[in-house]
Amino acid sequence: MNRQDCLERLREAAAAEGLAYRGAFAPRPTDSVPDARPGQPTGTLALFGFAGRDGFSRFAQSPEFADGLPHPLDRWSRRVVEALAADAGGKALFPFGGPPYHPFQRWAARAEDVRPSPLGLFIHPVWGLWHSYRGAVALVERIKAPQPLRAAASSCDVCAAKPCLSACPVGAYSEAGFAVDRCAAHLGTPEGRACMEGGCLARRTCPVGAHHAHDPQHAAFTMRAFKAAHPA
Ligand code: B12
């Protein structure tokens, strides 16, 4: 199998499990990417995750989703991405399991046209705020991945209204960052039900890729996980 085929095969195997290929890049020392094998630096890092709605619905059919044990999405991601990495002779890396955390957003910006949004989440020109990362596969081989097309300005730079910054009912988002405790406290109140059941109002108000927003099952799953991790 040639190198390009290796990436294509990874991409197809990931898609079969519901994971979207989120780009690949050749790491530089400043990217803090661990070695793919002991003593062998990573030549290519390929990222995988959710983009839009499809991935979550695949996860919702998995044994991890139904078994009632903690952290179902992380356990599903571990099983799926470790199998992809083993098949490709690479190493699986995950966004969770810290601190310390691997700098997935920094890696994402190397792999695709994603940029910081005022909410802290990175925005994608197609998926808007409705995308995330479930793992990465580090390969020793250096594979020339297609370079991402980069727009001159990010979707947020050309958004004058910035409705995301005024949609949070408790003002948890500001120039100073995301006030986690304020958000979590609100989610525990009756007034927080709209966010708990439908998803973060600030995220939902963004017009970019709005039709890719989480469906109600995904939104409620995400909010419950966030609330459980931050009991107010
Ligand atoms: C800790 C953490 C949190 C914390 C703190 C977040 C924070 N802003 O600091 C809490 C619990 C609050 C949180 C909440 C959420 N998170 Co969070 N979180 C993480 C986690 C696990 C680690 C972040 C970190 O410390 N990285 C370490 C540093 C060294 O890595 P880094 O890539 O350099 O990341 C930093 C830079 O991107 C930097 N940054 C921000 N703006 C800019 C601009 C420039 C120019 C540069 C260079 C860097 C930069 O901010 C990052 C630090 O947070 C990441 C996963 C991961 N491993 O990255 C997810 C992650 C960032 N979270 C994510 C998500 C989706 C959420 C939630 C929406 C989940 C939810 N519904 O509950 C909320 C939204 C919160 C918000 N608006 O910020 C996604 C973001 C995907 C995306 N589209 O960008 C990630 C990548 C997880 C994933 N599996 O995809 N999160």
> pLDDT tens digits for 21-38?
999 999 999 999 999 999
What is the structure's pLDDT at 2?
A: 67
**Strand order from edge to edge, sheet including 91-93:** 20-25, 44-51, 131-139, 91-93
Measured in Å, residue 121 CA sits from the centre of ligand 1 at: 6
Q: Does residue 97's CB lie within 6 angstroms of at least one atom of ligand 1?
A: no
Measured in Å, residue 222 CA sits from the centre of ligand 1 at: 14
What is the structure's pLDDT at 110?
A: 96
What is the structure's pLDDT at 12?
A: 96
Ligand 1 atom nearest the C-alpha of 133 is 90
Q: How far is CA 70 from CA 15, 41, 59, 75, 223, in A?
A: 25, 33, 15, 9, 15
Residue 49 has pLDDT above 70, yes or no: yes
What is the structure's pLDDT at 231?
A: 79
pLDDT in tens, 120-177: 999 999 999 999 999 999 999 999 888 888 999 999 999 999 999 999 999 999 888 9
What is the structure's pLDDT at 127?
A: 97
What is the structure's pLDDT at 1?
A: 60
